[in-house]
Structure 1
Amino acid sequence: MRTNVCSIISDQIDEDIEIACKKAKEEGFSYVELHNVFGKSIEECSDTEVEEIKKILDVNGIKVSAIASTVFFLAPLYENYKVSLFNETFHAITGDISTHLAYLKRACKIAKRLDCSIVRVFPFRYPDNEDIVVVGNDADREEIKKHLLEAGNIAASYGIMIAVENCPYSHCPKGEMTYRMIKEIAHPNVGLLWDPANSYRAEIKKVPHEFLTLNLKEEFELIKDKIVHVHLKNYHYDESQKKPFIHKALLKGDIAFEDMWDGLKKLNCKLSLEPEVSYEETLSSMKDLMKLAQK
């Protein structure tokens, strides 16, 4: 397997993109994914800032695997919904759906300037002010599909693929849930960003029973034809903790990525680290990913 399929979200190394790119290069990475840049979400960057990013990338010989926008993350699916950030260090745009679609156009323009073909979007965060018993019900999925279709049309006009991430804070936390929606949309510019760890930590009580039957390897086999980008991180579950899902280095958690590697390496996309751990654990995760890729 070529190591040039390996990527890492730059701010997972350092918030300073110049430092992040230098370290990524030192560790043998050819690609970074861009989310938090210059203290904002990438789709908020000005033309001047994008040119500065391009210079830093070019100097370090680094390419961009994906624009990790926050489109639709904090866009209320319905007018009465209120949504908020779970983590203040996670920069995200706000506003209504039309505002987010405008930011999507901006994200696509930035992607084109940085020679990148993937823009990440979300299947809408579930609300703070409503007691949602089950996420991703049929009515909500139909509403989300409507907006993803519009997003796909925007992406198509720029020659970009949008990658919808299964997110544990959203209406579609499981990869299978997001996959089914994307398959039903059947838009050539709408694909799946699979985060297996997000599937693993989905809030089971909120997930419809029909989406609780597959383990991660089985989910992968079902959804692999729609995967256009992958996020890699790991957790250890400890029920004694108030927040039982504890971030771990890539090969130190409950998810056995070594056992999934034969399938992952065959995907025609980038595998992007999002470790969400300490700097030292991030470095060890980077080294472990490179070792897997070199096997």
Structure 2
Amino acid sequence: MKFKLSAFADEISQDLDVQLNTLKRFNIDYIEARCIENVPLIEYSTESIKEFKKKLDYNGIKLSSLASPIGKISINGDLKTHYEKFKRTVEIAEILSAPYIRIFSFFIDKDFVPGDFKNKVIDELNKYVEYIKNCDVVLLHENEKHIFGDTAERCLYIFANIKSNKLKAVFDPANFIQCNEKELYKVYSKLKPHIEYFHIKDALLFEGKVVPAGQGDGEILPIVEDAYKSNFDGFLSIEPHLNHSLPGGGEKNFEIAYKALKDILTAVERER
């Protein structure tokens, strides 16, 4: 298998030992780190981050990405303070040897038109890209509900106006479904030149409910199949939103999400 598997293990448990033991049980060598004990990783002290890194190393787990909340702020918010938070995030990513930092493109306040803020969004994202130009890290823009880049059209606008190998796309099928995007394979095809990472979660188009991969309208099987045929060898990160799609979270429900993805990968490899 050419793909590398990772996971949002904080959906299994907020206990780090439980997270790591579960990843090892399923032979997943990477973690997309977001929270420990319900506290975002980027809010921990440098000393705590170094201890976290030691624990990862001891357990043979590496970071696939630092799942930061950077960009999850109103475009009309305190962007100066948020930029300082971004710089701290980069510092943490470097301590953890994270190849990627997940970011967003700012919430658009209710009753405002996203297009009215396109220049401001690009200006802010350009600051981030410029800051990391000499760092060993790449920013991954995630399509997320209610931010500027929540639709394929506006994601494409971002990449058309920030032409840098320091900004790539996370492709999240469920998030697009929840923004009423249809025909996800076509959406994927448009964004394919910019995609460097996948979040694996699915959703039902008319309900918006998150479901295990392959059980919704995200067209994950043909998308993963095309990525495979295109020699994509990056990360598929399991983000099943367990407490929503499989209430209660936990190891058993993570196994359901994991097996759903493995079924898709088995089908893809069978067709090669």
Provide, for residues 138-162 of structure 1, a one-character-per-residue CA deviation record: whole Å limited to 9, x for no partner. Answer: x312110100000001122322111
Matches within 5 A, 1:120-159: 120-127=102-109, 130-132=110-112, 134=113, 136-137=114-115, 139-159=116-136
Counterpart in the other structure of 2:75: 77
- From 261, 269, 276, the counterpart of 2:234: 269
| Matched residue type, 2:217 | D
* Aligned length in residues: 258
1:281 paired with 2:253, answer yes
Q: Do the aligned partners of residues 225 and 57 (structure 1) sit closer, same or farther apart at CA in structure 2, a change above 3 Å counting?
A: same
1:103 paired with 2:102, answer no
Counterpart in the other structure of 1:6: 5
Matches within 5 A, 1:50-69: 50-69=49-68
Partner secondary structure for residue 78 of structure 1: coil
| Matched residue type, 2:29 | S
- From 224, 230, 235, the counterpart of 2:192: 224
In 1, the alpha carbon distance for the partners of 2:31 and 2:141 equals: 18
| Matched residue type, 1:269 | G
Q: Do the aligned partners of residues 104 and 219 (structure 1) sit closer, same or farther apart at CA in structure 2, a change above 3 Å counting?
A: same
Higher mean C-alpha displacement, 219-228 vs 279-288: 279-288
Q: Which runs of 5+ in 2 are unaligned?
A: none
| Matched residue type, 2:255 | L
Counterpart in the other structure of 1:32: 31
Conservation of the 8 A alpha-carbon contact between 1:42 and 1:107: no
In 2, the alpha carbon distance for the partners of 1:288 and 1:29 equals: 15
Q: Do the aligned partners of residues 176 and 63 (structure 1) sit closer, same or farther apart at CA in structure 2, a change above 3 Å counting?
A: farther
Provide, for residues 59-108 of structure 1, a one-character-per-residue CA deviation record: whole Å limited to 9, x for no partner. Answer: 2211100001001202x2125xxxxxxxxxxxxxxxx2122211212221
In 1, the alpha carbon distance for the partners of 2:156 and 2:62 equals: 27
Conservation of the 8 A alpha-carbon contact between 1:9 and 1:274: yes
| Matched residue type, 1:65 | S
In 2, the alpha carbon distance for the partners of 1:145 and 1:40 equals: 29
| Matched residue type, 2:146 | Y
Conservation of the 8 A alpha-carbon contact between 1:176 and 1:223: no
Superposition deviation, residue 119 in structure 1? 0.4
In 2, the alpha carbon distance for the partners of 1:264 and 1:169 equals: 27
Superposition deviation, residue 35 in structure 1? 0.9
Higher mean C-alpha displacement, 147-156 vs 37-46: 37-46
| Matched residue type, 1:78 | N
Counterpart in the other structure of 2:162: 185
Q: TM-score, with normalisation over the residues of structure 1?
A: 0.81
In 2, the alpha carbon distance for the partners of 1:224 and 1:26 equals: 32
Superposition deviation, residue 284 in structure 1? 1.2
Provide, for residues 235-288 of structure 1, a one-character-per-residue CA deviation record: whole Å limited to 9, x for no partner. Answer: 1245xxxxx311212232232322222123333421111100233332111123
Indicate the RMSD between aligned Cα atoms, in angstroms.
1.9
Partner secondary structure for residue 51 of structure 1: helix
Counterpart in the other structure of 2:20: 21
Q: Do the aligned partners of residues 52 and 290 (structure 1) sit closer, same or farther apart at CA in structure 2, a change above 3 Å counting?
A: farther
Q: Which runs of 5+ in 1 are unaligned?
A: 80-95, 205-211, 239-243
In 1, the alpha carbon distance for the partners of 2:166 and 2:205 equals: 35
In 1, the alpha carbon distance for the partners of 2:31 and 2:47 equals: 20
Counterpart in the other structure of 2:212: 249
Superposition deviation, residue 173 in structure 1? 0.9
| Matched residue type, 2:86 | L
Q: TM-score, with normalisation over the residues of structure 2?
A: 0.87
| More helix by percentage | 2
Partner secondary structure for residue 172 of structure 1: helix
Conservation of the 8 A alpha-carbon contact between 1:175 and 1:195: no
Conservation of the 8 A alpha-carbon contact between 1:72 and 1:97: no
Partner secondary structure for residue 120 of structure 1: strand
- From 96, 102, 112, the counterpart of 2:94: 112
Superposition deviation, residue 11 in structure 1? 0.7
In 2, the alpha carbon distance for the partners of 1:73 and 1:32 equals: 21
1:258 paired with 2:221, answer yes
